[in-house]
Amino acid sequence: MKRPSQALPGLPGWDRCAVMGIVNVTPDSFSDGGRWLDPGRAVDRGLLLVDQGADIVDVGGESTRPGATRVSEEEELRRVLPVVRALADKGVLVSIDTMRARVADAAVEAGARIVNDVSGGLADPDMARAVAGTGVPFVVMHWRGQSAGMDALADYTDVVAEVIGEVARQMDAVVSAGVDPSQIIVDPGLGFAKSRRDDWALLASLGAWSALGRPVLVAASRKRFLGELLADPDTGEARPARERDAATAAAGVLAAAQGAWAVRVHEVRDTADAVRVEAALRHAGRALPGPTAPGVPPAGALTEDALTAGARA
């Protein structure tokens, strides 16, 4: 695919897909709720993720799992600010995962350098103006409604075209409110008002997002569509969330191969290794001028027929 510009204000220019590690400072997130609720443990977790290869640590104080209810703004601030501040003071590139303008503003003041809003500016009418004032990159995720009722909103005729179109309108709205287009990162919102079929269609079609011209964040980590794919063949029960990390790494490298700017994951090491392999292979393919042995086509020149023949061999 044609890769959109990956340059974002105030962030490094990685030569590969970046890895965003998750620190949920919550009691009720779907796969790790309560594990990092203590601020000290959350900070240690963030530092461990960096040691394991995370480029960014995404700190969130409110669960957005399906069916989740909202916490108060004061509670969200109490949970995230000490963690954001401590990690930023240690040189970690921190993202704040929030739908609230006041939390975003306070977190940036505490050292966060990205605002990751799963509502893409729709949940809080003041969010876009707040982000515009900070100048930091802003994740605009596809969103149709709050977590408590979002499963009922998964109704699409052409999920790829409709989701891209809706994100384009979200982008227009935040730009109209003052956000510079260069700040915007887009996110297809896997698992948010999406069926399993929808998630797979979006993951398979990331190349289409180049039409928006903005870096793409993909957050597939431990989500239901992976658990259902890996369901127990005897009982039909979905694979438990914490046993989906190999599948998460696979989804991450497939996203990287389609040009994703970053992937957001709970466990970092395997995905960090995988995206580095993808980048090395891509760079090697550019460097090789031609065949290395008789009958071997030049790098990057394999046709669909050749690939199919290779799969049969």
Q: Which residues are catalytic?
A: 223, 264
Question: What is the token pair recorded at 179?
Answer: 């956000």
Distance CA 128, CA 158 (A): 28
DSSP state of 209: G
DSSP label at residue 290: S
- Compute CA distances 39 → 65, 67, 225, 274, whole Å: 21, 25, 31, 30
CA–CA gap between residue 127 and residue 178 (Å, rounded): 10
Q: What angle do CA 79, 11, 93 make, to 5 degrees?
A: 30
Q: Are 170 and 147 in contact (CB under 8 A)?
A: no
Using N-to-C axis directions, what is the helix angle for 196-204 and 245-257, rounded to 10°? 40
**Distance (Å, whole) CA 203 – CA 231:** 19
CA atoms of 99 and 117, how far apart (whole Å): 5
Q: Is 252 helix (H, G, I), strand (E, B) or coil?
A: helix
Q: Give the amino acid at 13.
A: G
Smallest CA-to-CA distance from 242 within 86, 30, 66, 2 is with: 30
| DSSP string across 35-74 | TT-SHHHHHHHHHHHHHTT-SEEEEESS--STTPPPPPHH
Give yes or no for a contact between 36 and 25, defined as CB atoms under 8 angstroms apart. Answer: yes
The SS3 call for residue 210 is: helix
Q: In this structure, what token pair is assigned to residue 93?
A: 């590139």
